[in-house]
Amino acid sequence: MPTYLPAFLDTLEAPASLRQLIINIAEACRDIGQTVNNSALNNLQGELAQENVQGEVQKQLDVIANDLMLEPARWDGLVSALASEEMDTIYPLPSKGDYLLTFDPIDGSSNIDVNGLVGTIFSVLPSPSGEVTEADFLKAGQEQVAAGYAIYGPQTTLLFTLGQGVHAFTLNRDTGAWVLINPSVRLPESTAEFAINMAYQRHWHPPVRRYVEECLAGKTGPRAKDFNMRWLASMVGDLHRILTRGGVFVYPTDTRKGSENGKLRLLYEVAPFSFLIEQAGGMATDGRDRILDIVPHSLHQRTGVVLGVREEVETVKSYH
């Protein structure tokens, strides 16, 4: 007998409101996945003539997926405010729910038009009881009560954590039900696979340069093993592979103008994945410090990131 999402959530120690919120997010992700599947048929590919607050050109799907994530929160009474990669400021709701929800509606947007991997990342923080301001979102990642992502690949898969391990579900596309495929996702102890965009090599700082050079040196180098490399230009895709079979993901700060603080956003990309990776037995840092200890100073703050199998993340850290 398959185990479905609501029944599995009942086995976790969490308030009913949080369990319901995960169900609602999963439903929104199912709708986003369907929209992604049909995007070419419905002329939903391509860019809009507008940019988000970070100066990135928005795709049609970025905006539609953003609305699909907002939709359930408007009526479910569980969320008091939201923040997203695609919204300049926070989005407060009239209802005073227990939670704040942050998300990246379509991560890996550059893959949309090439039928590559994209997904949705989310993070849940406790809400204050009174009026919500941006400052209420600026909490260290360790205050998250839930985090997860959906990936719209050959299968539609959802992984999430409520701080009791990482759980994986796959969508039955015929019935619309989320079916448990792994109650406890764990990272292996070691790996021989790294993920980094090599095109920026000349801009890297010495510790990252050293780490990658040593991986590339293979069996006869200081690491004494051959490494493989993968880069999907989709954090969701790369991290899903790492959560499935191990690896390390590096998107460092570098010397390019605008990349001094890295590319990926702390609140709704890096913090949720760091929570998941730690819960799966891995490690997540900005190169030096634990990501989940960093207190953000702004909503769309960027950070360098090294996360995945502990041994590799420790190695990069030791070079800093």
Choosing from 104, 254, 278, 312, the residue that interacts with ligand AHM (CB under 6 A) is 104
Q: How far is the CB of 85 from Mg ion (least distance, A)?
A: 6
Please give the residues from 179 up to 238 whose contact with ligand AHM meets the rule CB under 6 A: 197, 233-235
The alpha carbon dihedral of 272, 132, 69, 261 has a sign of negative
User: Taking CB under 6 A as the rule, does residue 286 contact ligand AHM?
Assistant: no
* Residue with Cβ nearer ligand AHM (78 or 268): 268
Residue matched to tokens 């960093």: 294
User: Whose CA is closest to 157, among 143, 173, 144, 170?
Assistant: 170
Q: Which phi and psi (to 5°) does residue 170 adopt?
A: -120, 145
| Other CB atoms within 10 Å distance of the CB of residue 258 | 10
CA distance 7 to 3: 7
Choosing from 109, 123, 127, 161, the residue that interacts with ligand AHM (CB under 6 A) is 109
Q: Are 102 and 120 in contact (CB under 8 A)?
A: no
Q: How far is the CB of 233 from ligand AHM (least distance, A)?
A: 4
CA distance 317 to 73: 39
CA distance 31 to 313: 35
* Residue with Cβ nearer ligand AHM (56 or 113): 56
Q: How far is the CB of 262 from ligand AHM (least distance, A)?
A: 10
CA distance 276 to 295: 18
Q: How far is the CB of 198 from ligand AHM (least distance, A)?
A: 10
* Residue with Cβ nearer Mg ion (107 or 286): 107
User: Taking CB under 6 A as the rule, does residue 86 contact ligand AHM?
Assistant: no
Q: How far is the CB of 164 from ligand AHM (least distance, A)?
A: 27
Residue 126, judged by CB atoms within 10 A of its CB (0-12, 13-18, 19+), counts as middle
User: Taking CB under 6 A as the rule, does residue 31 contact ligand AHM?
Assistant: no
User: Taking CB under 6 A as the rule, does residue 271 contact ligand AHM?
Assistant: no
Q: How far is the CB of 221 from Mg ion (least distance, A)?
A: 33
User: Taking CB under 6 A as the rule, does residue 60 contact ligand AHM?
Assistant: no
Binding site for ligand AHM (CB under 6 A): 56, 85, 104, 107-109, 197, 233-235, 251, 263
